[in-house]
Amino acid sequence: MSQTHLISSDVLELSTLRDIIFQNKTIELSDTAIAKIEKCRRYLDHKIKDQDVPIYGINTGFGSLCNVEISKDKLTQLQENLVMSHACGVGDRVPDAIVKLMLFLKIQSLSYGHSGVQLKTVERLIAFFNHNILPVVFTQGSLGASGDLAPLAHLALPLIAKGEVVYKGEVRSAKDVLNQLDWDPIVLQSKEGLALLNGTQFMSAYGVHLLIKCHKLSYFADLIGSVSIDAFDGRIEPFNAMVHLVRPHKGQIKTAERIRGFLDGSELIQQKKEHVQDPYSFRCIPQVHGATKDTLDFVYKVFKAEINAVTDNPNIFVDEDEIISGGNFHGQPLALALDYLKIAMAELGNISERRTYQLVSGLRGLPVFLVDNPGINSGFMIPQYTAASIVSANKQLATPASVDSIVSSNGQEDHVSMGANAATQCFSVVANIERILAIELLNASQAMCFRRPLKSSEFIDSFLKSYATHVPFVKEDQVFYKLIQTTVSFMTDFFVENDLLFD
């Protein structure tokens, strides 16, 4: 398999991005992409040279200053001032993995030949990507409307030897790193600053990163839920295919099928039951987990369209001889999708915590709090508290950001998406879901030990045997936070080792 990905106009899939990132591939421009970039730049240079008509963002000011004309000898200063003045991000640093995705997605968008950038500018962004020179970007500052202005300004600063980068594990001055590599700063030409700053690459990078992780967690929710079903002595009938074919939601059918597969051959699931029904948190797993899967499908479609799009402004159409100022930078589609993703993933945590609660409640022959000698041992009492706390936090985070708006730029930008806030909130929600599912696995594995000598399915028993090498049966009270941390690490490693990165 080639270790170099060719940037082109071919439809970009999220699975392709996953492979580029996880296989640490380098990237380069295709001949077609180079031709499109150069053609657009030549057209723009010709347009500026031959006419004095104001063109927004090219020879005018920005935002509410759009009517201020700029002389030709000030166009480079205009673009560099734009990058510097808009670098107003604050808060935590954006994770390096997401910054690298931002770089890739900005390169991809510029490669279509509708942005008017210099070839050397795109090539320098590619050099940053290939050498893992990652600009320091901050989580706060974008309204998700005129593009992700502040985050993308920080992404662009190192091009002009400003700002900071992460290089070889250290945060360093971009100027020092460029000097070390003997790279000259890019001299920005007309429109380039705007092309770099307008766009949705902050929101898009978060969305891509989170979708890949959410598919992993969706799989784990089904697997860990299946362990809980057997640990709770649950019934298999609610997962019968006939039940789901008469309410044929795709995600619901897939979830039921997967759980039947996980439990196939289990002695526990096949034994005679004293109870007629299970609580909803077990019986309705296909309906709840399945609805989240259907949401993932919807969000995938939104982000697939976005990562194959031109989202800066104005858009340049060479063959039609048009330069049009529009609104492709507005993040509303992403804001709504990220809010939907927040809600859907929060529900995986909500139902998971309810299964954990049932497991520690002393029902169906399991000891109270899943430990011998309860009283002197608190056992698994408090991990459920932790899960409940995180679930409640997720409910707060899942409140839609996209229903909010605030006026900016002196009234010119009078409706904003708040998609960047939705993105960072979704990042927190998804991290929380991983912890909630880890707590359920910790409890379900412990509960299964009380079901011996009966066995679960071969697959589940193998999974739990592997898990037990990291977190063995808890005989008496110990420091539990380490067990939760170890469980989270086990889940991550299990997915990578079993090539389940994009289920």
Q: 246 and 166 in one domain?
A: no
Q: 368 and 467 in one domain?
A: yes
Whether omega for the bond prior to residue 279 falls within 30 degrees of 0, making it cis, is no
- In 3-state terms, the chain is what percent helix, strand and coil (to 5)? 60, 10, 35
Instruction: Answer left, alpha or beta for residue 144, where phi above 0 means left and psi between -120 and 50 means alpha.
Output: left
Show which of 142, 174, 199 is a domain's final residue: 199
* Residue 433 counted as domain residue: yes
Whether 381 and 369 have beta carbons less than 8 Å apart is answered as yes
Q: 316 and 270 in one domain?
A: yes
Query: Closest Cα to residue 222, out of 170, 257, 177, 175?
Result: 257
Q: Give residue 375's pLDDT.
A: 77
* Residue 219 counted as domain residue: yes
Residues contacting 174, CB < 8 A, separation 6+? 135, 157, 158, 161, 162, 163, 164, 165
Q: Which two three-digit tokens encode residue 3?
A: 């270790």
Q: 363 and 339 in one domain?
A: yes
* Residue 502 counted as domain residue: no
Show which of 199, 228, 253 is a domain's final residue: 199
Q: How many folded domains does the chain comprise? A: 2
Q: 444 and 304 in one domain?
A: yes
Query: Closest Cα to residue 313, out of 293, 300, 329, 289?
Result: 329
Backbone φ and ψ for 70, nearest 5 degrees, come out as -115, 135
Query: Closest Cα to residue 451, out of 363, 354, 365?
Result: 365
Whichever domain contains 192, its CATH number is: 1.10.275.10
Whether 343 and 426 have beta carbons less than 8 Å apart is answered as no
* Residue 342 counted as domain residue: yes
Q: 366 and 285 in one domain?
A: yes
* Residue 480 counted as domain residue: yes
Residues in the chain: 503
Q: 233 and 176 in one domain?
A: no
Show which of 199, 234, 265 is a domain's final residue: 199
* Residue 43 counted as domain residue: yes
* Residue 114 counted as domain residue: yes
Q: 368 and 241 in one domain?
A: yes
Q: 176 and 231 in one domain?
A: no
Backbone φ and ψ for 76, nearest 5 degrees, come out as -65, -45
Q: Give residue 26's pLDDT.
A: 97
Query: Closest Cα to residue 360, out of 482, 443, 478, 282?
Result: 443
DSSP, residue by residue, 399-444: S-STT----BGGGTB-----HHHHHHHHHHHHHHHHHHHHHHHHHH
Helix, strand, or coil here: 212?
helix
User: What letter represents residue 223's amino acid?
Assistant: L
Whichever domain contains 270, its CATH number is: 1.20.200.10
- Output DSSP code: residue 63: G
Q: 133 and 211 in one domain?
A: no
56 tagged catalytic:
yes
Q: Give residue 372's pLDDT.
A: 85
Whether 78 and 356 have beta carbons less than 8 Å apart is answered as no
* Residue 142 counted as domain residue: yes
Q: 235 and 322 in one domain?
A: yes
The radius of gyration of the chain from alpha carbons, rounded to an integer in Å, stands at: 26
Residues contacting 3, CB < 8 A, separation 6+? 23, 24, 25, 26
Q: Give residue 412's pLDDT.
A: 79
Which residues of the chain register pLDDT less than 70? Answer: 1, 57, 60-72, 499-503
Range of the domain at 313: 206-497
Distance CA 44, CA 36 (A): 12
CA atoms within 13 A on the CB side of 339: 16
Q: 181 and 61 in one domain?
A: yes
Whether 259 and 286 have beta carbons less than 8 Å apart is answered as yes
